Amino acid sequence: MRGTLRKSLFAVLMLAALAALVYHSRGAIHLADFSWSRLKVALEGARLDLLVVSLTGIYVAYAVRSLRWMRFCRFLGPSRFSAVYSATVMGFAGIFLLGRAGEPVRPLLLARKCRFSVSSMFGIYVLERIFDVASAAALAAVSLLVLPGLISNDAADAGWELKMRASGGALFIGLLGFVALLVYFRLHGAGALDRRLAGWRATPGWRRHLAVQFSGFSEGLQAIRSISDLSAALFYSAVHWALIAVIYMLVLRAFGEETGASGIRGAFVVLTITMVGSLVQLPGVGGGTQIASFIALNSVLGVEQEPAMAAAIVLWLVTFAGACLGGVPLLIREGWSMGDLRRMARAEAEAEESGKHLSEAKTKSFSAHER
């Protein structure tokens, strides 16, 4: 289940912010001066050792994400790290290959590998998305607070800097309020509201869709049963996204002093803007992520166009396409083809429209080696 309404609102807000950044920086981009020969030189001059470390780090990040998922699933029963990790890598490979349509693949694979119910895995998936959105908000707040000291002279403006710092502070306050609301809702409101929406689940149209989305949110919240559970989720989320920021820093440093000069603070800025761009990711192409990374490097941090473009391309290859290096062989070994994944994702989308999820038996029918 995907929180369609929540994601849509977040996408609108973040894309509006990206559009405002593009508009503000429109004078800093001069693609007519772009040199393909200098881009080639920038790519050829990248430090391979740092790129290898970065790619390895992505698989460590998947491990951290898998540990967080296991913590969320603890109340359902025991799970093996190897099963969760392999399903996670295969799932992210599926998202890269199929685009946003492939998002249901990961919880479906996790349900099958871990032998948990499909509905419970989608509930955990909703909870995971909530913590990722909260992490994105935290990254945005940090970036807005540190950005004035990094922004290029061409784009710098006293009023602009003051607004960014104020926005960063407001985001931090909003994030704290969100965590407090999440705790209160888990302790007091989720069960009662879920019961009130029971009638909506039998009604066709947007009411049933909203009720189904909320049921997944409510079910996912059952994984947070104590302060210890909340602390563990926050810890794993912080470690995961801090690791991603370090990976961004290593990739930027691989292209020399110009792209890597801003260090971890600049990496946070690029990561935040890239996360906004990922909302418009295209299947097998990326698109939005490279454009957003390029804007962050060229217009915000003042990196020249060619090294900025080179770094943006490699960032996408490492952080998005990198899942395929391990995920595709695992999918082949498990007997899954691209057609299987596409049909399974489509069937899940159709099941969600009717207020249900695919059954465990139905997911098995999509596997090539069981047909």
pLDDT tens per residue, range 244-259: 999 999 999 998 887 8
Tokens standing for residue 223: 């994984």
Q: Which residue has the tokens 């508009």?
A: 23
Segment 10-17 mean pLDDT: 45
As a whole number, the mean pLDDT across the chain is 75
H or E segment and range at residue 255: none
Residue 18: band (very low, low, confident or very high) from pLDDT cuts 50, 70, 90: very low
Measured CA to CA, the distance from residue 300 to residue 71 in angstroms comes to: 38
| Residue 220: per-residue pLDDT | 66
pLDDT-derived band at 167 (thresholds 50, 70, 90) equals: low
> HSE on the CB side for 260, CA within 13 Å?
16
Indicate the burial class of 128 (C-beta count within 10 angstroms; 0-12, 13-18, 19 or more). buried
pLDDT at residue 194 greater than cutoff 70 = no
Backbone angle region of 256, left / alpha / beta, with phi > 0 → left and psi within -120 to 50 → alpha: left
Q: With 90 as the cut, is the pLDDT of residue 100 above it?
A: no
Q: Determine the average pLDDT of the residues in 16-36.
A: 46
Where b means 16+ CB within 10 Å and e means fewer, 102-121 reads bbbbbbbbbbbbbebebbbb
Strand, coil or helix: what is 198? Answer: coil
At 205-232, the pLDDT tens digits run: 666 666 666 666 666 677 787 888 888 9
Angle between helices 48-72 and 81-98 (to 10 degrees): 120
Instruction: Give the model's pLDDT for residue 260.
Output: 77
**283 pLDDT exceeds 50?**
no
Helix H segments across 222-337? 227-254, 257-260, 263-277, 288-295, 305-316, 323-334
Query: What is the number of alpha carbons within 13 Å of residue 361 lying toward its C-beta?
Result: 0
Interatomic CA distance for residues 45 and 129, integer angstroms: 37
Q: Give the residue with greater pLDDT, 304 vs 144.
A: 304
Domain span at residue 42? 4-370
Tell me the torsion sign for CA atoms 76, 79, 83, 85: positive
pLDDT of residue 26: 42
Number of structural domains the chain divides into: 1
Please give the average per-residue pLDDT across 182-207, as a whole number. 65
How confident is the model over 256-277, as pLDDT tens digits?
Answer: 887 877 788 888 888 888 877 6
Q: What is the pLDDT of residue 371?
A: 45
Under DSSP, the state recorded for 281 is E
Provide the whole-model pTM: 0.76
State the number of CA atoms in the 13 A half-sphere of 289 facing the CB: 24
Contact between 290 and 39 (Cβ < 8 Å): no
Whether 358 shows a pLDDT value over 90: the answer reads no
Mean pLDDT of 287-305: 80
Query: Mean pLDDT over residues 128-134, rounded?
Result: 83
C-alpha distance from residue 287 to each of 89, 118, 227, 277, 282 (Å): 22, 31, 40, 8, 6
Band of residue 296 on the pLDDT scale cut at 50, 70, 90: confident
Confidence of residue 30 (pLDDT cuts 50, 70, 90): very low
How much is the pLDDT for 305? 81
Contact in structure between 358 and 351 (CB atoms under 8 Å): yes
Would the pLDDT of 20 be above 50? no
Q: pLDDT class for 364, splitting at 50, 70, 90?
A: low
DSSP 100: G
- For the cut 90, the answer to whether the pLDDT of residue 175 exceeds it is no
Tens-place pLDDT, residues 308-357:
888 888 888 899 889 999 999 999 998 888 888 888 888 877 776 666 66
